[in-house]
Chain A
Amino acid sequence: MGYKQYILVCGGTACESNQGIALFNALKSAVISNGLVNDVQVVRTGCLGFCEKGPIVKILPQDTFYVEVKPEDAETIVKEHIVKGRVVSRLLYDKKQSQINVGIEGIDFYQKQFRIVLRNCGVIDPDKIDEYIARDGYKALEKVLFTMKPQEVVDEVSKSGLRGRGGAGFPTGKKWSFAAAQPAGQKYMVCNADEGDPGAYMDRSTLEGDPHSVLEAMTIAGYAIGADKGFIYIRAEYPLAIQRLETAIAQSREYGLLGKDILGSGFSFEIEIRLGAGAFVCGEETALLASIEGKRGMPKPRPPFPAVKGLWGCPTVINNVETLANIPVILTKGGLWFSKIGTATSKGTKVFALTGKINNSGLIEVPMGTTLREIIFDIGGGIRNGKAFKAAQTGGPSGGMIPPQFLDTPIDYENLGKIGSIMGSGGLIVMDEDDCIPNIAKFYLDFTVDESCGKCAPCRIGGRKLLDYLKKICNGDGTNADIENMQEISEAMARASLCGLGQTASNPVKSSLRYFMDEYKEHIDEKKCRAGKCKNLLRYTIDAAKCVGCTACARVCPANAIAGERKQPHVIDKTKCIKCGQCFEVCKFHAVNRA
C-alpha cells in the first residue's frame, strides 16, 4: 500500500511568500476532507524555478503543472484533478491545453534547461533525508569513503573541470589540491552561502530545496583535503534555508552520515552553521573567514591563500554552495561525464536567477555556452510588455552591462570577461528601453559604496567618487571631464583594491561607458534622459493642440502645478512641477510630453 498520486507544492521563499504555506495547508486539508489521505501525498519541495508564476503546484505521476495557484483553488484541484481526473485548465500555464498530462515538457521555460545543481529542487521534500537518499543521495560519499583515496577524489574533481561558481571561476580541483598538499593537521572546509548580490537567489534556493547535496559535498571535500570540520557561512536573512539546513544536519547525524566514524569507514566529519549579519564583503573569502573567527568582516591581502593559511591559521577550502552541489554528481557519474558538458574552458552548467524586465523571472540552470538570447528570449519568454531589450547585467554589482550586440555570445567565464562583465554568482538582471544606464550604474555604485568595508583607499574613496560623478551626471550637471575621471578611477580601483569587491565595483561603470557612451553624452551635452528616469532632466509640457481640457491631469497633480479651464488646453507651471510624471500617466490623449 503506497501513495498513488502526489501533489508537489513549491516551498521556495518566493512561493511561500505568495501564500504558499496557506496553499500547502489547504491542499492537505482538502486531501483529508476528501478521504484521500492514504492515496495522495502532499509534498513541499524546493524551488521549481518558475517563480514568476508562483505558487506552483505539480501533480505526479500525471506531471501536470499548475501555476499561480491560490489557497482557494486547493479544493478544486483535489475534487477535479485527483478525484475525477479532470484537468483544471484555468490553472495551467498554457490555458488552451485541455489534456491532463501537461507537464513541464509543454513549457518553453524548461526546454533548454539542464539540471545538475537543481536536480532535486522541486522533486524531493527537502526536510526528508530518505527522499534525498532515494535520488542517489550519499551514493557519492559511499563511493568516496570506501573505494577512493583522498588524492583520487581531488583528481576526479580536477578532471571534471569544475570551476568555482561564486564568481571568480577558480578551478575547484586545484583549490582542493593546494589544501590537500598541506601537512596533515587541523584543516577546515567552509561553504560560502553568503549570497549578497541584489537579484541573486540561486544559493538560497539550492539550500532550501536540496540541503543534503551541500552537506554530502562538504563531507566529501573534507575527506579529500583531510579536514574533519566544516562550517556553513550563511546570512541570517535566509531563515528558511537555515531552518532546512539545521533539519538536514540533524538527520545526517542521526543516520551517521555526519559525525564520528561515518558509515563505519573511520572517517569523521562535523558541520556547523555560522550566521552572517549580511555584509556583502563577507562573501569575499578572507573577510568571510574573519567573520567566522568572530572578527570584523574585512579582507586580508593574499597570499597567503586560505588553502594554505585560512581559518585560525589552518589550511581551509572555501567553496560556494552551487560549486558544492555539483560535487556529488561529479563523483557518481565521473569527472569525464561532467567535462563533456559546457564549453572548452567552462564545464558543466550554471544556475541563473533571472530578474528584471523579463516575462518569466525565475531560477534556471543551463549548460555553459548557452547564449544570452536563449536565456532571455527562449527561457525567459522575452522582455515584459513587448519592450526593446537594452542590456543585461550578469554578476550583480560586480558585473558589467551586456548590450544587445552580444546576445549571441555563448556564456562562459572567458567570454563574459572579454565583454567586460563577469560570471559572478549568477544573478541576471534584464533591462529594457525604459531603464536609464547611468542611473542603473548609480544604483550599483550606491550598493557597493554602502557595502565597502573601508579598509583600502581605492575602494573606499574611488567608489565614493564614482558615485558622486554618476549622481552629478544624472542630475544634469555632468561634464565631459567627469567621464575621463570616471574612467581613470575605475581603472585604479580595479588594479589597486585589496579584494574582489573593490576590484569589480567599477565594472558597471566601465562596461556602461564602453557600450552606452551615447547615453552618458546625452545626459551631459543635451541634458536629456531618453528613458525618462532622471528626474532633473525631465520637462513636462502639455501639447495645446492635443489637450481637450478633461482636467484629469490637473486633478491628479499633487503639486497643483497644472491650471486650465474645463474644455480648454491646460498648462504646467514649471516652477511648481515636481516631475512626478502622474500627468503623463493619466492623460488619455497623449497630450502630455515628457522630454
Chain B
Amino acid sequence: MAKLTLNDLRKLRDEKQKTMAKRDPSHKDAQIIVGMGTCGIAAGAKETFNAIIDELDAKGITHVLVRQTGCMGLCHSEPTVEVIAPNMPVVIYGNVDAETGRQIVHAHIIGKTLVDNHICDKPAMDIVR
C-alpha cells in the first residue's frame, strides 16, 4: 500500500464506511426481518435473506437493518419477510423468494409503495412492539 494522499484517505473512508455501516445497528430507521425458522429456511429464506442484503448493498442503502427471526407462524406462506419502515404500515410479506426480496427493496424501501400479491398479514398485536 502506497502512502495516502488526502483524497485517497477520503475515498478509503467512504468505501469502508459502507461495509462498516452494515454492522452498526444504530442510525437505522427501517428494518427488514426475515423469518428463518426451519420452515422458512426449507422454503428458501436463506436465498431471500442474501438477495435482500445484496440488493441493499448494490443500491448503497445503509439505513435498513436486516435481521432474521424465527418462525412467525405463517408456515404456509414461507419465506415470510416483515418490513418496518418509517411512514409505512408494518407489513408481513409471504412467499418471498429472492426476486420478491429484491422487489421489496425497490418498491417498499425505495419507492415507498407496497409490493402487491405478496402481502400476507399485519403482525399480530403481540408481535407489534
Contact = CB atoms under 8 A, between A and B. Distances in A.
Interface in B1-59: 1-6, 9-10, 12-13, 16-17, 19-20, 22-25, 34, 36-38, 40-41, 45, 49-50, 53-54, 57
Interface string A260-274: 000111000000000
Instruction: Pick the most buried of B6, B23, B50, B54: most chain A CB atoms within 10 A of its CB.
Output: B23
Contact of A6 (B5, B23, B37, B69): B23
A475 to B, nearest CB: 56
Given A100-B67, A254-B1, A256-B3, A63 B25 contact: yes
A62 interface: yes
B70 interface: yes
Given A85-B37, A142-B6, A1 B25 contact: no
Contact of A60 (B13, B23, B53, B69): B23
Interface residues of A, number: 41
Contacts of A142: 6, 9-10
Contacts of A278: none
Of the four ranges (under 10, 10 to 19, 20 to 34, 35 or more), the interface on chain B belongs to: 35 or more
A176 interface: no
A546 to B, nearest CB: 54
Instruction: Name A's interface SS.
Output: loop
Contacts of B34: 85
A113 interface: no
B3 A100 contact: no
A134 B36 contact: no
Nearest to B34: A85
B25 A264 contact: no
B4 A39 contact: no
A257 interface: yes
B66 interface: yes
A99 B10 CA distance: 39
Given A61-B65, A62-B68, A264-B6, A255 B1 contact: yes
B38 to A, nearest CB: 7
A145 to B, nearest CB: 8
A61 B16 contact: no
A191 B93 CA distance: 56
B12 A133 contact: yes
Nearest to A128: B16
A385 B55 CA distance: 51
A501 to B, nearest CB: 42
B1 to A, nearest CB: 5
Contacts of A95: none
Contacts of A133: 9, 12-13, 16
Interface in A114-150: 123-124, 130-131, 133-139, 142, 146
A123 B20 CA distance: 9
Contact of A255 (B3, B49, B54, B69): B3
A258 to B, nearest CB: 10
Contact of A85 (B4, B6, B13, B68): B68
A135 B20 contact: yes
B23 A85 contact: no
Contacts of A123: 23-24
Contact of A100 (B10, B38, B68): B68
A134 B66 contact: no
Contacts of A138: 9, 13
Nearest to A124: B20
Interface string A92-106: 000000011101000
Given A60-B23, A61-B25, A139 B13 contact: yes
Contact of B5 (A86, A99, A124, A263): A263
Contacts of A139: 13
Interface in A79-94: 83-87
A124 B17 CA distance: 12
Contacts of A135: 20
15 contacts: A61-B24, A61-B25, A63-B25, A99-B69, A100-B68, A100-B69, A123-B24, A130-B16, A134-B19, A138-B9, A138-B13, A255-B9, A263-B5, A263-B9, A264-B5
Interface of B: 1-6, 9-10, 12-13, 16-17, 19-20, 22-25, 34, 36-38, 40-41, 45, 49-50, 53-54, 57, 65-70
Of all A-B residue pairs in the complex, the 8 with the closest CB atoms, nearest first, are A256-B3, A85-B36, A134-B16, A85-B68, A134-B20, A63-B25, A60-B23, A134-B17
